Structure 1
Amino acid sequence: MSTAQETSAYAPAHTPRLNWTEHAPDVYKAMARLDAAARQGLDPKLCELVKIRASQLNHCAFCLDMHTKDALAAGESMERIIQLSAWEESRHFYTEKELAAIELTEAVTVLTDGFVPDEVYEKAAKHFEEVELTRLIAAITVINAWNRFAVTTRMVPGNYRPGQHG
């Protein structure tokens, strides 16, 4: 029988392989600048949905932690964040524009599934002006790069607080 005084401890965090931001600060700073440039003119909540979805597909726990917290801080609902992993069955939670962005995110993130299909690209092009679409593609590309750094170096999730990054 458990009591209110008992606490359950989480398993210990894994150890990161290396601190890539310390060993290649110029690369990190260039990535941060590219990230900021890609986001210009895009709805911040849409950006966070895209970052969360790519991070789910890439199994990047560090970026999921960061972008879920950033999305909540930007006013995104917990419900829409939770449903994002099953967006195809939860389409009614998202606008057509958001769905086009999410679908494009999946196609760009999982290129091994047959590149970016014309119909996926055309759907996104219908909802985004060319400049905005270019920024969206850049934002998707950048989060995939961040995911690869974080997963490869085994960055530890859980300690991020909104506003900690550029």
Structure 2
Amino acid sequence: MTNRINLAKKAPKVYRAMIALDAAAGEGIDENLAELVRIRASQLNHCAYCINMHTADARKKGETEARIYLLSAWQEAGDIYTEKEQAALLLTEAITVMSSHEYVSDEVYAQAAKHFEEEELAQLIALIFTINSWNRIAVSTRMAPDVH
């Protein structure tokens, strides 16, 4: 797999805007929760670059190996994730995998709203659509993870 176009060099205004959006979207969200959301969205989008980066970031922030490893099967992992984290992961999956047959249902939204104040929920939604944008940038340009 080889890299394609370098968006940062060829569309620098867009890239800088994404960095600013990413910083704004993460405000007010617990850092560990944010990394779980970023990893889960990246798993769903098959974004190796972002999975690698956010897994490393999660470890640096103190996330456990078990919680990182089990993230792809979080619904089967029992109470390893808090109810708030589960609500965030459910919302992440609903927003990430939208299609003509799947959408963010009222039930999924209500579950998230039960655990997040409105401002925090707005930030969470922004965090989710931002990591999805980063995933699409990395996958479409074939950004390779640095695993050495």
TM-score, structure 2 normalization: 0.96
Matching of residues 1-166 of structure 1 within 5 Å: 14-112=1-99, 113-158=101-146
Q: Deviations over 1:102-160 (max 9, x none)?
A: 00000000011421011110000000000000000000000000000000000010259
Q: Secondary structure at the match of 2:144?
A: coil
Aligned residues: 147
Greater share of helix residues, 1 or 2?
2
**Corresponding residue for residue 8 of structure 1:** none
Q: Secondary structure at the match of 2:54?
A: helix
Q: Deviations over 1:28-53 (max 9, x none)?
A: 11001101101111000000000000
State, as a whole percentage, how many aligned pairs show the same letter.
59
The one-letter amino acid of 2:90's match is: E
In the TM superposition, structure 1's runs of 4+ consecutive aligned residues that sit over 3 Å from their partners are none
Query: Larger Cα Rg: Structure 1 or Structure 2?
Result: 1
What is the alpha-carbon root mean square deviation over aligned residues? 1.1
> CA–CA distance in 2 between the matches of 1:29 and 1:153?
17
TM-score, structure 1 normalization: 0.86
The one-letter amino acid of 1:77's match is: T
> CA–CA distance in 1 between the matches of 2:109 and 2:146?
34
